[in-house]
Amino acid sequence: MRRRDFIALVGGAAVAAPLAARAQQPPIPVVGFLHSETPDAVRTEVVAFHRALNEAGFTEGQNVAIEYRWAEGQFDKIPELLADLADRALSTPTRS
């Protein structure tokens, strides 16, 4: 009977440990990036933006997420895109 209890305990710990570790990790920060042009039109600016983030210790996909929005020359879309980024910020869990 003790052997079964031990196996159940070890098996349960093996499943629970990764879940507990994942639950303790704080969410990564999210940066909103909004531009009035297309990604191709401002490629050098985006590269410079990534370089500056890297110099500050941030790498996209590792310790920071970036939400991109592109107006593609349609300036009337900017308020809608801003609202979308704001909604994304409000729906992101905060650190407690």
pLDDT tens over the chain, length 96 residues: 566 655 655 555 555 555 555 566 788 888 999 999 999 999 999 999 999 999 999 999 999 999 999 999 999 999 999 999 888 877 765 544
Looking at residue 19, its amino acid is: L
Q: How far is it, in rounded angstroms, from Cα 86 to Cα 35?
A: 15
Q: Is-contact 37 69, C-beta < 8 A?
A: no
Residue 14: its pLDDT value, please? 55
Q: Is-contact 34 69, C-beta < 8 A?
A: yes
pTM, two decimals, is 0.64
Residue 90: its pLDDT value, please? 75
Domain residues of the chain, as ranges? Answer: 27-91
Residue 26: its pLDDT value, please? 80
Query: Residue 68 has what DSSP assignment?
Result: E
**Start-end of H helices in the chain:** 2-24, 43-55, 78-91
